[in-house]
Amino acid sequence: MARIKVQTEDFEIGAELAAMTAGRTDIGGIGCFVGLVRDNAVVGASVVAMTLEHYPGMTERAIAQIAEAAELRWALLGCTVIHRVGRLVAGDNIVLVLAAAAHRQAALDATAFLIDWLKTKAPFWKREEFSDGSGTWVEAKAADESAAARW
Amino acid sequence: MSKPITLLYFAWLRERIGTSEESLALPDGVATVAALVRFLAARGPGYAAAFQNRNTVRCAVNQAFADPQAPLQPGDEVAFFPPVTGG
Protein backbone atom coordinates (compact mmCIF):
# COMPACT_ATOMS: atom_id res chain seq x y z
CA MET A 1 0.00 0.00 0.00
CA ALA A 2 1.68 3.17 -1.16
CA ARG A 3 1.90 6.33 0.91
CA ILE A 4 0.57 9.12 -1.34
CA LYS A 5 0.28 12.79 -0.50
CA VAL A 6 -0.54 15.91 -2.49
CA GLN A 7 0.29 18.94 -0.39
CA THR A 8 1.38 22.58 -0.46
CA GLU A 9 3.94 22.21 2.33
CA ASP A 10 7.48 20.91 1.90
CA PHE A 11 8.45 17.31 2.71
CA GLU A 12 11.27 16.06 4.92
CA ILE A 13 13.21 13.39 3.03
CA GLY A 14 14.90 11.95 6.13
CA ALA A 15 11.60 11.63 7.96
CA GLU A 16 10.03 9.88 4.97
CA LEU A 17 12.92 7.40 4.75
CA ALA A 18 12.69 6.75 8.50
CA ALA A 19 8.92 6.18 8.26
CA MET A 20 9.46 3.68 5.45
CA THR A 21 11.98 1.56 7.35
CA ALA A 22 10.59 1.90 10.90
CA GLY A 23 10.23 -1.44 12.65
CA ARG A 24 11.31 -3.62 9.74
CA THR A 25 14.47 -5.41 8.65
CA ASP A 26 13.42 -6.91 5.31
CA ILE A 27 14.25 -3.85 3.18
CA GLY A 28 17.60 -4.11 1.39
CA GLY A 29 17.52 -0.85 -0.53
CA ILE A 30 15.50 2.27 -1.22
CA GLY A 31 15.46 4.20 -4.48
CA CYS A 32 14.91 7.96 -4.07
CA PHE A 33 14.05 10.66 -6.59
CA VAL A 34 13.60 14.31 -5.62
CA GLY A 35 12.37 16.78 -8.23
CA LEU A 36 13.15 20.48 -7.71
CA VAL A 37 12.12 23.78 -9.29
CA ARG A 38 14.94 24.52 -11.69
CA ASP A 39 15.82 27.95 -13.00
CA ASN A 40 15.69 26.81 -16.61
CA ALA A 41 16.79 30.18 -17.96
CA VAL A 42 15.55 31.07 -21.42
CA VAL A 43 16.77 34.02 -23.45
CA GLY A 44 16.36 37.22 -21.43
CA ALA A 45 14.39 35.79 -18.52
CA SER A 46 14.88 33.22 -15.83
CA VAL A 47 12.34 31.17 -13.91
CA VAL A 48 11.74 32.66 -10.48
CA ALA A 49 8.76 30.53 -9.48
CA MET A 50 6.25 28.05 -10.70
CA THR A 51 2.67 27.33 -9.76
CA LEU A 52 1.50 23.76 -9.80
CA GLU A 53 -2.19 23.20 -10.47
CA HIS A 54 -3.80 19.78 -10.12
CA TYR A 55 -7.14 17.98 -10.33
CA PRO A 56 -8.11 17.20 -6.72
CA GLY A 57 -9.57 13.73 -6.48
CA MET A 58 -8.24 12.46 -9.78
CA THR A 59 -4.66 13.27 -8.81
CA GLU A 60 -4.63 10.93 -5.81
CA ARG A 61 -6.42 8.22 -7.83
CA ALA A 62 -3.98 8.50 -10.72
CA ILE A 63 -0.94 8.31 -8.43
CA ALA A 64 -2.45 5.30 -6.62
CA GLN A 65 -2.92 3.55 -9.99
CA ILE A 66 0.70 4.29 -10.95
CA ALA A 67 1.91 2.91 -7.60
CA GLU A 68 -0.26 -0.20 -8.09
CA ALA A 69 1.31 -0.71 -11.52
CA ALA A 70 4.78 -0.49 -9.91
CA GLU A 71 3.78 -2.99 -7.22
CA LEU A 72 2.66 -5.43 -9.93
CA ARG A 73 6.00 -5.18 -11.73
CA TRP A 74 8.39 -5.25 -8.78
CA ALA A 75 8.28 -6.88 -5.34
CA LEU A 76 8.18 -3.58 -3.48
CA LEU A 77 8.39 -3.41 0.30
CA GLY A 78 7.37 0.24 0.42
CA CYS A 79 6.41 3.10 -1.88
CA THR A 80 6.03 6.82 -1.12
CA VAL A 81 4.95 9.56 -3.52
CA ILE A 82 4.63 13.14 -2.28
CA HIS A 83 3.82 15.86 -4.82
CA ARG A 84 3.62 19.52 -3.91
CA VAL A 85 1.10 21.96 -5.43
CA GLY A 86 0.70 25.73 -5.32
CA ARG A 87 3.41 28.35 -5.84
CA LEU A 88 7.01 27.15 -5.50
CA VAL A 89 10.19 29.15 -6.03
CA ALA A 90 13.42 28.10 -7.75
CA GLY A 91 15.27 25.59 -5.58
CA ASP A 92 12.13 24.30 -3.84
CA ASN A 93 11.29 20.61 -3.70
CA ILE A 94 8.42 19.57 -6.02
CA VAL A 95 8.17 15.81 -5.79
CA LEU A 96 9.53 12.90 -3.76
CA VAL A 97 9.46 9.27 -4.92
CA LEU A 98 10.73 6.45 -2.72
CA ALA A 99 10.63 2.75 -3.58
CA ALA A 100 11.89 0.08 -1.19
CA ALA A 101 12.76 -3.49 -2.11
CA ALA A 102 14.93 -6.39 -1.01
CA HIS A 103 17.50 -5.57 -3.69
CA ARG A 104 18.74 -2.45 -5.45
CA GLN A 105 17.64 -3.21 -9.00
CA ALA A 106 13.95 -3.40 -8.12
CA ALA A 107 14.22 -0.30 -5.90
CA LEU A 108 16.00 1.78 -8.55
CA ASP A 109 13.90 0.58 -11.51
CA ALA A 110 10.64 1.12 -9.62
CA THR A 111 11.72 4.64 -8.66
CA ALA A 112 12.48 5.52 -12.30
CA PHE A 113 9.20 3.95 -13.42
CA LEU A 114 7.19 5.90 -10.82
CA ILE A 115 8.59 9.30 -11.79
CA ASP A 116 8.39 8.57 -15.54
CA TRP A 117 4.72 7.61 -15.28
CA LEU A 118 3.95 10.41 -12.84
CA LYS A 119 5.18 12.94 -15.40
CA THR A 120 2.80 11.71 -18.10
CA LYS A 121 -0.17 10.14 -16.27
CA ALA A 122 -0.92 12.29 -13.20
CA PRO A 123 -3.00 15.47 -13.67
CA PHE A 124 -0.58 18.24 -12.69
CA TRP A 125 0.19 21.38 -14.70
CA LYS A 126 3.10 23.78 -14.21
CA ARG A 127 2.95 27.50 -14.89
CA GLU A 128 6.34 29.19 -14.91
CA GLU A 129 6.90 32.78 -13.78
CA PHE A 130 9.85 34.59 -15.30
CA SER A 131 12.02 37.34 -13.80
CA ASP A 132 10.58 39.86 -16.30
CA GLY A 133 7.09 39.31 -14.88
CA SER A 134 5.78 37.18 -17.74
CA GLY A 135 4.47 33.66 -17.30
CA THR A 136 3.69 30.63 -19.39
CA TRP A 137 2.22 27.15 -19.04
CA VAL A 138 4.89 24.50 -19.42
CA GLU A 139 4.33 22.35 -22.50
CA ALA A 140 4.48 18.57 -22.29
CA LYS A 141 7.67 17.13 -23.77
CA ALA A 142 7.82 14.27 -26.26
CA ALA A 143 10.88 13.01 -24.34
CA ASP A 144 8.69 12.49 -21.26
CA GLU A 145 6.24 10.40 -23.32
CA SER A 146 9.03 8.20 -24.65
CA ALA A 147 10.54 7.85 -21.16
CA ALA A 148 7.15 6.66 -19.87
CA ALA A 149 6.68 4.33 -22.85
CA ARG A 150 9.96 2.46 -22.30
CA TRP A 151 8.44 0.62 -19.32
CA MET B 1 -35.09 16.14 -16.66
CA SER B 2 -31.90 14.12 -16.50
CA LYS B 3 -29.01 14.99 -14.25
CA PRO B 4 -26.61 17.58 -15.71
CA ILE B 5 -22.96 16.83 -16.31
CA THR B 6 -20.25 18.71 -14.41
CA LEU B 7 -17.57 20.30 -16.57
CA LEU B 8 -14.13 21.07 -15.14
CA TYR B 9 -11.36 23.02 -16.88
CA PHE B 10 -7.71 23.21 -15.87
CA ALA B 11 -4.60 25.27 -16.71
CA TRP B 12 -4.88 27.30 -19.94
CA LEU B 13 -8.25 25.80 -20.82
CA ARG B 14 -9.58 27.28 -17.57
CA GLU B 15 -8.00 30.65 -18.39
CA ARG B 16 -9.35 30.77 -21.94
CA ILE B 17 -12.87 29.66 -20.99
CA GLY B 18 -12.87 31.90 -17.92
CA THR B 19 -14.25 29.42 -15.42
CA SER B 20 -13.01 26.31 -13.64
CA GLU B 21 -16.36 24.56 -13.30
CA GLU B 22 -19.84 24.62 -14.76
CA SER B 23 -22.91 22.48 -14.99
CA LEU B 24 -24.51 21.53 -18.31
CA ALA B 25 -27.57 19.54 -19.30
CA LEU B 26 -26.22 17.01 -21.79
CA PRO B 27 -27.47 18.38 -25.14
CA ASP B 28 -29.47 16.16 -27.48
CA GLY B 29 -27.19 14.22 -29.77
CA VAL B 30 -24.11 14.66 -27.57
CA ALA B 31 -23.23 11.13 -26.51
CA THR B 32 -19.42 11.12 -26.67
CA VAL B 33 -16.48 13.27 -25.58
CA ALA B 34 -15.80 14.24 -29.22
CA ALA B 35 -19.40 15.42 -29.68
CA LEU B 36 -19.20 17.40 -26.44
CA VAL B 37 -15.99 19.11 -27.61
CA ARG B 38 -17.70 20.11 -30.88
CA PHE B 39 -20.66 21.47 -28.92
CA LEU B 40 -18.48 23.43 -26.48
CA ALA B 41 -16.17 24.82 -29.17
CA ALA B 42 -19.21 26.49 -30.78
CA ARG B 43 -20.34 28.16 -27.55
CA GLY B 44 -18.24 31.32 -27.76
CA PRO B 45 -14.82 32.80 -28.46
CA GLY B 46 -13.27 31.61 -25.15
CA TYR B 47 -14.41 28.05 -25.78
CA ALA B 48 -13.33 28.24 -29.41
CA ALA B 49 -9.86 29.35 -28.28
CA ALA B 50 -9.66 26.61 -25.66
CA PHE B 51 -10.60 23.84 -28.09
CA GLN B 52 -8.87 25.35 -31.14
CA ASN B 53 -6.18 22.67 -31.29
CA ARG B 54 -7.85 19.42 -30.27
CA ASN B 55 -4.50 17.61 -30.22
CA THR B 56 -3.46 19.63 -27.16
CA VAL B 57 -6.62 18.91 -25.16
CA ARG B 58 -6.93 15.87 -22.91
CA CYS B 59 -10.10 14.62 -21.24
CA ALA B 60 -11.07 12.68 -18.16
CA VAL B 61 -14.54 11.26 -17.49
CA ASN B 62 -15.30 10.58 -13.84
CA GLN B 63 -11.61 11.14 -13.01
CA ALA B 64 -10.23 8.58 -15.46
CA PHE B 65 -8.51 9.52 -18.75
CA ALA B 66 -10.97 9.20 -21.63
CA ASP B 67 -10.50 9.21 -25.41
CA PRO B 68 -12.72 11.11 -27.88
CA GLN B 69 -14.94 8.06 -28.46
CA ALA B 70 -15.69 7.65 -24.73
CA PRO B 71 -19.47 7.66 -24.07
CA LEU B 72 -21.09 10.24 -21.78
CA GLN B 73 -23.94 9.75 -19.32
CA PRO B 74 -26.02 12.25 -17.36
CA GLY B 75 -24.31 13.04 -14.06
CA ASP B 76 -20.78 12.46 -15.40
CA GLU B 77 -17.86 14.63 -14.28
CA VAL B 78 -16.02 15.63 -17.46
CA ALA B 79 -12.69 17.44 -17.23
CA PHE B 80 -10.67 19.08 -20.01
CA PHE B 81 -7.01 20.00 -19.63
CA PRO B 82 -3.69 20.24 -21.48
CA PRO B 83 -1.23 17.34 -21.55
CA VAL B 84 0.06 16.94 -17.99
CA THR B 85 3.37 18.44 -16.87
CA GLY B 86 3.91 17.35 -13.27
CA GLY B 87 6.81 15.57 -11.68
Query: What is the structure's pLDDT at A143?
Result: 87
Which residues of chain A form beta strands (DSSP E)? 3-7, 29-36, 47-54, 76-84, 86-89, 93-101, 124-130, 135-137
Across chain B, mean pLDDT equals 96
Look at residue B87 and tell me if it is in a domain.
Answer: no
Which residues, including other chains, have CB under 8 Å from residue A137's CB and lie 6 or more apart?
A125, A126, A127, A128, B11, B12, B82, B85
Tally the domains of chain A: 1
CATH of the domain at A105: 3.90.1170.40
B19 φ, ψ (degrees, to nearest 5): -150, 155
A57-84 tens-digit pLDDT: 999 999 999 999 999 999 999 999 999 9
Shortest CA gap B47–chain A (Å): 18
B54-71 tens-digit pLDDT: 999 999 999 999 999 999
Which of B6, B58, B80, B85 to mutate: most A Cβ within 10 Å?
B85
What ipTM did this prediction achieve? 0.94
**Structural domain of residue B33, as residue ranges?**
5-81
Tally the domains of chain B: 1
Contact B86 A115 (CB under 8 A): no
**Structural domain of residue A45, as residue ranges?**
3-149
Asked if A139 is an interface residue toward chain B (Cβ–Cβ < 8 A), one would say yes
Please measure the distance between the N-terminal and C-terminal CA atoms of chain B and give it in whole angstroms. 42
Look at residue B86 and tell me if it is in a domain.
Answer: no
Look at residue B74 and tell me if it is in a domain.
Answer: yes
CATH of the domain at B9: 3.10.20.30
